[in-house]
Every structure is written in C-alpha cells, then in structure tokens.
Amino acid sequence: MSEFDLTDASIYPYWTDEIIRFADLDRLNHVNNVAFATYSESGRVDFLEHVTPGSTDGSGVGWVIAKLTVNFLAAAYYPGKLKIGSVIRRVGNSSILVEQGFFVNDKCFGTTENVLVWADTTNEKSLPMPDAMKEQLQVYLR
C-alpha cells in the first residue's frame, strides 16, 4: 500500500487524459470495474512510453505487468473526461511500482498500484534494468 495520499493530485508528476465511454458503464450507469483496469492500462502505457520509449511494443524486451491492485473510491459517470496521474514509488533491480489516481473534476474516484517487471518477453524471463533506465525512472520517483 502507498505511504501517502493517492487521492492528492499534487503528488503526480505525469498525467494522461482519457474519456469515459458509454461502454464503460455498468447497469447502474456507473463506471464499471473493468473500466478501472482499462484506465490504468491507458495511463500506464502512456507513462511508460514517455519515460522508456518502445518499452511496451511487445518486441522482445520491455515491461510486463505482474500485479494490478485497484481501489474503488467513488462513482464516476458518463459522459466525462478524466485525468490519470502516474508516479513511480519504487525502483528495484528488475521491477518498478507505479501508482495512479483517476480524477474527474478534481475528485479522485479510484487508485491503482501496478507492479511492472522488465523482461525478455520472448523467453518469459525477468531481466535486470539497465542503469541508464533506472536513472530515467528516478525522475518520476516520489
């Protein structure tokens, strides 16, 4: 779990804009649980491609998600525009922890914790991150 308040927009150094789609709704017209995972993916891929270009294209070496934890905090509705904040909380030898917040009209309606592993995707094996990459990631570490 996070050591600080993921509902505080000021902690996020990187932002992704997204929309709430009609297809994201459940029977009660709330954003459904599957959409939270989709929003996390949209923000995560945008963020990782910004920090480490080409790292999510599936070409052999790159990021794979090992764990996703979703925290549902409030209802969100269609139509709407949302902002996804991303921050790195931990940089390890071969993995990172990226935390995110989902905001509509400055209100946080959900958070996620993503554990990502730097891996050889062809052989399905984790790899140590290059030192230069670790330095790039440090810019977004809080």
pLDDT value of residue 71: 97
When pLDDT is cut at 50, 70 and 90, the band that residue 1 belongs to is very low
Using one digit for the tens of pLDDT, what is the confidence trace for 3-52?
A: 689 999 999 999 999 999 999 999 999 999 999 999 999 999 999 999 99
Using one digit for the tens of pLDDT, what is the confidence trace for 108-132?
A: 999 999 999 999 999 999 999 999 9
118 vs 127: CA distance, rounded Å: 6
100 vs 140: CA distance, rounded Å: 12
When pLDDT is cut at 50, 70 and 90, the band that residue 58 belongs to is confident
Q: Does residue 95 surpass a pLDDT of 50?
A: yes
* Contact between residue 45 and residue 64 where contact means Cβ atoms under 8 Å apart: no
Domains of the chain: 9-138 (3.10.129.10)
pLDDT value of residue 3: 66
* Contact between residue 6 and residue 111 where contact means Cβ atoms under 8 Å apart: yes
